């Protein structure tokens, strides 16, 4: 692990010795950083790419670095930032990951970063807080909530909950940093509280497991030629950098003097803009932005490997930096798209972008007219992080593009790029951009669903999106709403569908009993909202209904039990090496639960640790039509409000001591369809902000 030891090295020394020392230093610490990368990614190729990006960025920024932080702290911050960028699409990783790494994928990004920095990389809480740009108090909150989730996911399955007033002290107690009086008070309480005893032990177990990930480096199968591959890529990059022309071509639209006069007259009268952009631009969505003066035509070009990329325009606001682009294959009839998570690097992203949020996802659009006119041209858009300043020049390096395959289920599946042929090369851009303001309206509307309060708080009208912010109360112990899906937003009789990929958690420091979310809708061009209605779609709920099932070996398997109105089967299969427990319920009609949370308990009363866990599930749309997950003839985004039903869970045990004697169910999740329309009263308008 990276600690402040004799191996620590100052940035001044690195500057004096040169960039090669960065490579040598990472070579010495490659195991530690490979484990760090594995906390975010399962692909060795992606982790190798993180090493490569980190070295390139560190070498580039080293001459301008003025901070007094330790070199290892600085490099780790770069490494973690790159990991977070690449791992945003969790669906690509979760299927192949198990145990602690799969559990880490379920955390919020700041929770994960706090945990890996503090317990995997073993930074002090002060250093970890500095890297995350939060207070030490906030860091402890992130650590506590993250450990709670890991405990529930991997260890105990949330069958016990310690006393809330003492949970905040667990970390200080385990790290032996508590004041004596508080320590005595906690120990007296723990002595008489079994729930806190068990939860504190689980906290210690989680922290110990995280701190000892170094011992599992062999299980991670770190490539033996990791650094050799990276050094070869660095050599190729340096060779190409020396050969390329420093001056990048920019093509501008040159207008004749008569046409320029016509434009001038048109802008003065306010009648020519629509015609002008319809003559000079093909993408109707981009035309709408340009007509509202929300962006400007750029037409920045770069060409490599027979592929020309043109940055058409950029629009920036508080939610994202939206780039419209065109990619032309000048050699073959192929269409390519850009993906922010892979193949794109914002070289100055640390300085100019807000890294505490996430860019929106826009799937490839092969249905539009503009992408069906030419076989070798694709016009699309890509979302990047929002700016943290009013204006900037974005330095982008593109090293990979994704080939779009028509008439193939692979090309249509959500983020299904792994098996699609990509295009490598290097395209560099410097993109000037100015952030546009947003208008925020306060809302004060409270409703209840299943007796759980939900309050609507804020309507934001931004150039690239309209958003509704709402909070869900989770103070009830027996049930809670995990997420609320909105169907559409109607403003001044104009209806806008909710963005399928635009529902997100908002990290706000407020009452601990409320969790805040934000739903995105299409932009509201030129509209000042007066009448605002939001239609609800569905709510995902958890009901904490507990049940213990004894696994009686004196009875013949399969056995059955009743839970949440369903009959569920348990089967037990044994061979010389293992015991496999199979839980199944394929009856979906009128089934109350979609999936339930459970834990196996061994004969000693502890949690049974399954070495292998697998599950089967189906999707069921609102009309009751069932879809197998491996079924190739449907697109998820076209299903009407699909629900995810688990049909089979299996757990394999290899140790005799782990063979479970009972199963404890803690609760179940389900979806409630809604069609309520909530009228929102706009209480006040907060001044426009950038």
First to last CA, the chain: 41
Q: Which residue has the tokens 């330790």?
A: 70
* Mean pLDDT, residues 508-513: 70
Both tokens of 114, joined, read 């706090």
Per-residue pLDDT at 107: 83
* Mean pLDDT, residues 607-627: 84
- The three-state secondary structure class of 333 is coil
- Is residue 417 predicted with pLDDT exceeding 70? no
Separation between Cα atoms, residue 251 and residue 138, nearest integer Å: 48
- Is residue 255 predicted with pLDDT exceeding 50? no
- Is residue 396 very low, low, confident or very high in pLDDT (cuts 50, 70, 90)? very high
Residue 255: C-alpha distances to residues 280, 284, 327 (Å) = 11, 22, 24
Both tokens of 303, joined, read 């060409």
Burial class (CB in 10 A: 0-12, 13-18, 19+), 418: exposed
Partners of 310 in the β-ladder: 301, 326
Q: Which residue has the tokens 């010795």?
A: 17
The secondary structure of residue 360, as a DSSP letter, is P
- Is residue 381 predicted with pLDDT exceeding 70? yes
Mean pLDDT of the chain: 80
* Mean pLDDT, residues 383-387: 93
- Is residue 260 predicted with pLDDT exceeding 60? no
Phi, psi of 506 (to 5 degrees): -110, 120
- Is residue 276 very low, low, confident or very high in pLDDT (cuts 50, 70, 90)? very low
Residue 658's closest CA among 613, 615, 595? 613
Give tens-digit pLDDT for 159-190.
556 777 777 788 888 877 777 777 777 777 87
Residue 295's closest CA among 279, 276, 315? 315
Per-residue pLDDT at 148: 82
Per-residue pLDDT at 399: 92
Per-residue pLDDT at 252: 39
- Is residue 312 predicted with pLDDT exceeding 60? yes
- Is residue 610 predicted with pLDDT exceeding 70? no
- Is residue 341 very low, low, confident or very high in pLDDT (cuts 50, 70, 90)? confident
More confident residue, 93 or 612: 612
More confident residue, 19 or 302: 302
Q: What are the chain's domains?
A: 11-230 (no CATH), 245-434 (2.60.40.1630), 438-543+676-689 (2.60.40), 552-660 (no CATH)
22-26, 357-361, 480-484: the lowest-pLDDT one: 357-361
More confident residue, 406 or 47: 47
Separation between Cα atoms, residue 345 and residue 666, nearest integer Å: 44
Per-residue pLDDT at 2: 44
* Mean pLDDT, residues 36-64: 82
- Is residue 7 predicted with pLDDT exceeding 90? no
- Is residue 574 predicted with pLDDT exceeding 70? yes
Question: Is 495 within 8 Å of 489 (Cβ atoms)?
Answer: yes
- Is residue 354 predicted with pLDDT exceeding 60? yes
Q: How far is CA 629 from the centre of its chain?
A: 22
């Amino acid at each position: 692990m990276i600690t402040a030891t004799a191996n620590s090295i100052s940035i001044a020394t690195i500057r004096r010795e040169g960039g090669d020392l960065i490579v040598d230093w990472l070579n010495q610490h490659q195991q530690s950083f490979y484990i760090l990368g594995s906390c975010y990614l399962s692909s060795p190729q992606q982790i190798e790419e993180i090493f490569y990006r980190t070295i390139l960025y560190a070498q580039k920024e080293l001459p301008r670095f003025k901070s007094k932080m330790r070199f290892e702290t600085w490099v780790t911050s770069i490494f973690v930032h790159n990991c977070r960028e690449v791992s945003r699409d969790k669906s690509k990783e979760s299927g192949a990951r198990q145990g602690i790494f799969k559990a880490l994928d379920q955390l919020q990004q700041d929770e994960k970063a706090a945990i890996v920095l503090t317990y995997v990389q073993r930074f002090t809480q002060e250093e970890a807080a500095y890297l995350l740009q939060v207070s030490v108090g906030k860091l402890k909150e992130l650590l506590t909530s993250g450990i709670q989730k890991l405990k529930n996911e991997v260890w105990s399955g949330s069958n016990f909950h310690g006393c809330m007033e003492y949970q905040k002290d667990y970390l200080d107690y385990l790290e032996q940093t508590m004041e004596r009086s508080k320590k005595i008070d906690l120990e007296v309480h723990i002595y008489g509280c079994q729930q806190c005893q068990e939860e504190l032990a689980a906290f210690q177990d989680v922290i110990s497991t995280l701190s000892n990930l170094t011992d599992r480096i062999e299980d991670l199968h770190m490539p033996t030629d990791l650094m050799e591959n990276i050094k070869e890529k660095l050599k190729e990059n340096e060779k190409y950098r020396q050969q390329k022309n420093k001056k990048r071509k920019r093509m501008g639209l040159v207008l004749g003097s008569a046409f320029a006069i016509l434009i001038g007259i048109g802008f003065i009268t306010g009648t020519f803009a629509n015609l002008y952009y319809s003559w000079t631009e093909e993408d109707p969505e981009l035309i709408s932005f340009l007509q509202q003066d929300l962006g400007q035509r750029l037409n920045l070009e770069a060409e490599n490997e027979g592929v020309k990329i043109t940055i058409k325009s950029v629009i920036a606001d508080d939610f994202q930096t939206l780039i419209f682009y065109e990619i032309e294959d000048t050699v073959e009839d192929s269409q390519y798209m850009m993906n922010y998570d892979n193949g794109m690097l914002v070289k100055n992203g640390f300085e100019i972008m807000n890294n505490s949020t996430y860019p929106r996802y826009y799937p490839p659009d092969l249905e539009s007219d503009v992408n069906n006119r030419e076989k070798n041209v694709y016009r699309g858009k890509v979302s990047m992080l929002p700016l943290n300043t009013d204006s900037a020049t974005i330095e982008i390096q593109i090293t990979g593009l994704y080939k779009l395959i028509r008439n193939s289920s692979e090309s249509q599946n959500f983020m299904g790029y792994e098996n699609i042929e990509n295009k490598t090369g290097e395209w560099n851009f410097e993109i000037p951009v100015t952030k546009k303001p947003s208008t925020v309206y306060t809302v004060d509307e409270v409703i209840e669903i299943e007796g759980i309060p939900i309050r609507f708080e804020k309507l934001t009208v931004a150039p690239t999106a309209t958003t509704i912010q709402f909070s869900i109360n989770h103070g009830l112990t027996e049930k809670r709403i995990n997420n609320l899906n909105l169907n559409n937003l109607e403003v001044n009789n104009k209806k806008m569908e909710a963005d399928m990929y635009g529902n997100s958690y908002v990290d706000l420091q407020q009452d601990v009993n409320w969790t805040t979310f934000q739903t995105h809708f299409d932009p509201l061009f030129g509209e000042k909202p007066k009448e605002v209605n939001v239609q609800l779609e569905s709510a995902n709920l958890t009901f904490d209904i507990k049940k213990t099932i004894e696994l009686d070996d004196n009875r013949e398997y399969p056995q059955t039990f009743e839970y949440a109105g369903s009959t569920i089967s348990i089967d037990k299969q044994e061979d010389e090496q293992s015991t496999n427990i199979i839980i199944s319920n394929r009856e979906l009609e009128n089934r109350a639960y979609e999936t339930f949370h459970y834990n196996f308990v061994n004969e000693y009363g502890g949690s049974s640790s399954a070495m292998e866990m697998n599950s089967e599930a189906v999707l069921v749309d609102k009309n009751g039509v069932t879809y197998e997950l491996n079924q190739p003839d449907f697109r998820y985004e076209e299903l009407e409000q699909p629900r995810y039903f688990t049909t089979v869970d299996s757990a394999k045990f290899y140790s005799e001591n782990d063979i479970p004697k009972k199963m404890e169910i803690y609760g179940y999740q389900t979806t409630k369809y809604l069609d309520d329309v909530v009228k929102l009263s706009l209480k006040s308008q907060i001044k426009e902000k950038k």
